[in-house]
Structure 1
Amino acid sequence: MRSTIWSLLGLGACLLAHGAGPIVSTARAQDTDWQKVDETLGRKPSVAGDVRRYGFPRTDLAVTLDGVTIRPALALGGWVAFKPAHGGTMIMGDLVLLESEVNPVMAKMIAGGLEISAVHNHLLRASPATFYMHVAGHGDPVKLASAIRDALADSKTPLTVAASPTTPPPAIDLDTAQLDQILAIKGQANGEVYQFNVPRRDPIVEGGLSLSPVAAMGVATGINFQPTGAGKAAVTGDFVLSGEEVNPVIRTLRAHGIEVTALHSHMLDEHPRLFFMHFWANDDAIKLAKGLRAALDKTASTKS
């Protein structure tokens, strides 16, 4: 029977690293030396509630799809989130890898005592092809951070953060106020990409722990717009769906000219059971926003 981090969490037990001994610490979250975690991962996190989320964007890659150069914030933004849980820290993450990097990184993750919860594509026809590895774990946050860094060292993921540019990014060439109105939620600019995170109405639980804030933990529907000129945008992201919502959303997206590019799970033991549907289109931004809103209306998502 598969060894599951989350069932061990419910018992307050330790996950054993392969040949490396336990990585779980009884230290409480408030005793964590987060500066050491930052130093190990080579970057500062964004902080939301009790979650510290570290970004690992693939700024080293030049990925194109249907003639569009994919910005890291559109579809190449790997991340790992740390959240206090059960006397230690739980992590969840989504790492962006090339095909040749998947198995070396996976081997190091397993050796470091982490679990792999999914490996899949998000996009179709992209060059070079990118794959997405979801990881999970529980234990001492510094040891978890070391395991993540050691694994990513077997890829070309940048492990140091470049200095911030002295000039601000260009303004987003879209009617963002109208996008906000159509999607009924306030978006945020991230570089040259305009992003939305739409939470579900139902709480999401893993290992007896509420996965909140949902955006920081990767369980909110994500919708990203990257301007492509003349009011058009490339859109991608993923819908967070219950089983009965999957096919209504597929039909709605396709009816609005939005391609469904992947359907899969990201976690192993969440409640309710969730599916993640990725999509792609490059068309008039307002038209696409209306199609995405129609798809959201088929789900139990919040609407402000």
Structure 2
Amino acid sequence: MRNMISAVIVIGSCFLATSGSAQRIDWRVFAEPFVSSAHAQTVDWQKVDDTLGRKPAVSGDVHRYGFPRSDLVVTLDGVTIKPALALGGWVAFKPMHDGVMAMGDLVLLESEINPVMLKMIANGLQITAVHNHLLGASPATFYMHVAAHGDPVQIATAIRDALAESKTPLKAAAPAASPPAIDLDTDQLDQIIGVKGQANGGVYQFNVPRRDPITADGMTLTPVGPMGVAIGINFQPTGGGKAAITGDFVLTNGEVNPVIMALRTHGIEVTALHSHMLDEQPRLFFMHFWANDDAIRLAKGLRAALDMTASRRS
């Protein structure tokens, strides 16, 4: 209560100090934390869970639902790709003043793209991007980015109905009794990348946030990892200290070519460059990459690329 009173005093002071130009104040700067928190309490998350058939990972006020393509066997350069490496579809829900903001990235086969898209459109969801992440994978996989605003259960129903047009498993799999070991020097990887990674389904994952805030539709996209706007780096062990790496760099326009040069100089392929959203600020570009080599050598190459970005790390 003390924090809310202080915020009201600050808002009132700003109004008094700038009454002549009050119309230029973006009041969402002050109201957003309280609006988001209040609406998070009013969302019936159990109904959303039941509709999507799974439990979310909850971070702050964001509920993120995973849709891994565990039904697919995808190979590239002799590596059988684990879902957590490059086949992990997801949808995140963030409360806002009139319901939720939803955004996500769905993994589809080529034959599934248009049936899923048509169902999404029919149910009022936006398609913000369709593209590849990898080159030469068999079978080829594509990634459909989606967005929506409004009632969370209606959005969840639309997503479920659209995914039913694909072979995406709609029933969440039971967690593995014993997660696969990460046969890599993860302490050294942490030190090189500059943030602490975490194991997920046999893959060692990093989320590196950018220094500056990212907004869409007047909302700050936080927390950045669950909302898909952190630099994502994934290592899948391939034996003998080697790893397959992929993920995406989140870049402003001036960072794109310096990062390309850093990656290519260190033997890391650039496999895609594109947008994920339509109206984010600042404008962002997402660069995907691939290599299968000594994990420590690749980590140093990735760090060289990270050094070309305005990102937060040690």
State the TM-score, normalizing by the size of structure 1: 0.90
2:297 corresponds to which of 264, 287, 297: 287
Is the counterpart of residue 234 in structure 1 residue 244 in structure 2?
yes
2:102 corresponds to which of 91, 108, 112: 91
2:41 corresponds to which of 30, 40, 44: 30
Residue number in structure 1 paired with 2:255: 245
Paired residues of 2:268 and 2:291 also in contact (CA < 8 A): yes
Deviates more, 1:30-39 or 1:144-153: 30-39
Task: Give 1:200 shift.
Answer: 0.2
Residue number in structure 1 paired with 2:155: 144
The CA RMSD over aligned residues, in Å, is 1.3
Task: Give 1:303 shift.
Answer: 1.4
Residue number in structure 1 paired with 2:10: none
Paired residues of 1:93 and 1:136 also in contact (CA < 8 A): yes
Aligned counterparts, 1:46-125, within 5 A:
46-125=57-136
Kindly provide the CA deviation profile for residues 17-50 of structure 1, in whole angstroms up to 9, marking residues without a partner as x: xxxxxxxxxx944222110100000000000000
Q: Distance in 1 between matches of 2:40 and 2:185?
A: 42
Residue number in structure 2 paired with 1:254: 264
Call closer, same or farther: CA 1:103–1:303 in 2, change over 3 Å.
same
Task: Give 1:113 shift.
Answer: 0.6
Kindly provide the CA deviation profile for residues 201-256 of structure 1, in whole angstroms up to 9, marking residues without a partner as x: 01000000000000000000000000000000000000000000000000010000
SS at match of 1:225: strand
- RCO greater where, 1 or 2, for CA within 8 Å and sep 6 or more? 1
Q: Distance in 2 between matches of 1:290 and 1:203?
A: 26
Residue number in structure 1 paired with 2:199: 189
Residue number in structure 1 paired with 2:228: 218
2:215 corresponds to which of 179, 199, 205: 205
Q: Which runs of 4+ in 1 moved over 3 A?
A: none
Q: Distance in 2 between matches of 1:195 and 1:170?
A: 14
Task: Give 1:85 shift.
Answer: 1.2
SS at match of 1:216: coil
Residue number in structure 1 paired with 2:16: none
Q: Distance in 1 between matches of 2:219 and 2:47?
A: 25
Q: Which runs of 5+ in 2 are unaligned?
A: 1-25, 29-37
Q: Which amino acid aligns with 2:243?
A: A
Q: Which amino acid aligns with 2:189?
A: L
Q: Distance in 2 between matches of 1:237 and 1:89?
A: 27
Q: Distance in 1 between matches of 2:165 and 2:130?
A: 17
SS at match of 2:103: strand
Q: Distance in 2 between matches of 1:29 and 1:53?
A: 13
Q: Which amino acid aligns with 2:105?
A: D
Q: Which amino acid aligns with 2:240?
A: A
Residue number in structure 2 paired with 1:4: none
Q: Which amino acid aligns with 2:206?
A: F
Is the counterpart of residue 41 in structure 1 residue 25 in structure 2?
no
Task: Give 1:87 shift.
Answer: 2.1
Residue number in structure 2 paired with 1:175: 185
Q: Which amino acid aligns with 1:101?
A: E
SS at match of 1:280: strand
Paired residues of 1:29 and 1:87 also in contact (CA < 8 A): no
Q: Distance in 2 between matches of 1:173 and 1:107?
A: 42
Paired residues of 2:40 and 2:61 also in contact (CA < 8 A): no
Please tell me whether Structure 1 or Structure 2 has the larger radius of gyration of its CA atoms.
2
